Amino acid sequence: MISCQTQAERWEMIEPFEISREVITAQPVLLVRLSDGHGHTGQAEAAGVDYDGETPQTLAAQIDRVAPRLHDAITGQDLLALLPAGGARNALDCALWDLHAKQSGLPVWQAAGLPAPQPVTTAFTIGLGDEATTRRKAREARAYPLIKLKVDAQRHLDMVRWVREEHPGARLVVDANQGWTLDLLKDLCPKLARLGVEMVEQPLPRGSDALLDGFKAALPLAADESCTDLASLKTLVGRYQFINIKLDKCGGLTEALAMAADARELGLGLMVGNMCGTSLAMAPAFLLAQQCQYVDLDGPLLQTLDRDCPMVYRNGVIDPPLPALWG
C-alpha cells in the first residue's frame, strides 16, 4: 500500500495581491507526500479552487477518504474515478507522478511520452492597485517581457496606460476575473487593442459564456474560471480562442495533458496558469507549459519564500525543475 501524509501550509505574499474578487495576503496550500514500502516518496502541492470553497482542510478531508484505496499499482487514470476535478485530485495525481519517477528513475516528462522540457517565459502578474503602486510595479517588472495585468469593472484602461508608459516594450494581457459585463467588454476591446493588449482573460462571470455567442471581439478571449476540466471544453468553442488550464481546477497533470490534446483538436489555443503557491505547484504545470502559447507560472515570484530546490526564474524565463523538487 501507499501511505499518504498531508500538511496545511501558508505562504506569505510579498505585498497584498488584489484581483477583482479579493485581496490575497498569504496563499494557503496543502502539501501531500506519498510513500511506498521501499523508501520512495513523491510530493506535490495544491491550493485548490478558493472561489469554489476549497481550502487545505477540505482538500485534506477528501484525500483522507480515499487514502485507504491508494494501492501500489494505482495510476493517474484510476484517480479520475476516485475524486472529482479539483485541488485534492491535483495533489494526489502530481504526487503520484513524482512517486513513480522516484521509483523508476524515469523523469515524468519521459514517462508521459513528452519531449524533454525546455525553458519557458512566464508572464509576471501585476495586481489591482492605485496609479503610484501600478507604475512602481511596472518599473520593477521591466526585465519581464510579458505582463499580465489584473483589472476590474472600474480600473482597466488607465492601468494599461500606466503600465505601457512605464514598461513600453512589454507584451500585455489583461485578466478581469469575471468582473465585466458584455457591454463593457464590447466597449473596452477595441481600446485595449489600440493600447497593444494581446488578450483578455475571463471577462464575464462563468456561467454566462453563452452571451459571447456571435460576438467578434477585437482581441482573443481566454476562458479561465469557465474552463474547468475536459467536460467544459466543448462549451467554450466559438466563444473563446484560448483556455487557461490550471492543475488545481482540472485535478492534476493527467487531466491537464488530456485537456491540452482535446483543446488542440477543437482549435483552442493553450494557456497554463496557477493559483499562486511555491515552485512545487509550478513544477508539474511546467511540463504542460511546453505546449502553451501563454504561460502564467509566476506564483513564487509573488511570495516571500519558496521551497528548497526551487525553480530558477531569470527575467521571466523559467528553467525546468530539479528532480529533487519534483518529477
What residues act catalytically? 150, 246
Stated as kind and residue range, the H or E segment containing 150 is strand 146-150
Cα separation of 141 and 130, whole Å? 16
Cα separation of 14 and 247, whole Å? 24
Cα separation of 144 and 163, whole Å? 12
Cα separation of 190 and 167, whole Å? 21
Stated as kind and residue range, the H or E segment containing 192 is helix 182-194
Cα separation of 47 and 74, whole Å? 23
3-state secondary structure of 292: coil
| Backbone phi and psi for residue 123, each to the nearest 5 degrees, phi listed first | -70, 150
Single-letter residue type at 220? P
CB 245 within 8 A of CB 254: no
Q: How far is CA 171 from CA 71, 121, 125, 145, 175, in A?
A: 47, 12, 12, 6, 14
User: 116 exposed, middle or buried (CB, 10 Å; 0-12, 13-18, 19+)?
Assistant: exposed
Location of C-alpha cell 482573443: 220
Cβ atoms within 10 Å of 267's Cβ, excluding its own: 9
Cα separation of 170 and 285, whole Å? 24
| Backbone phi and psi for residue 226, each to the nearest 5 degrees, phi listed first | -75, -15
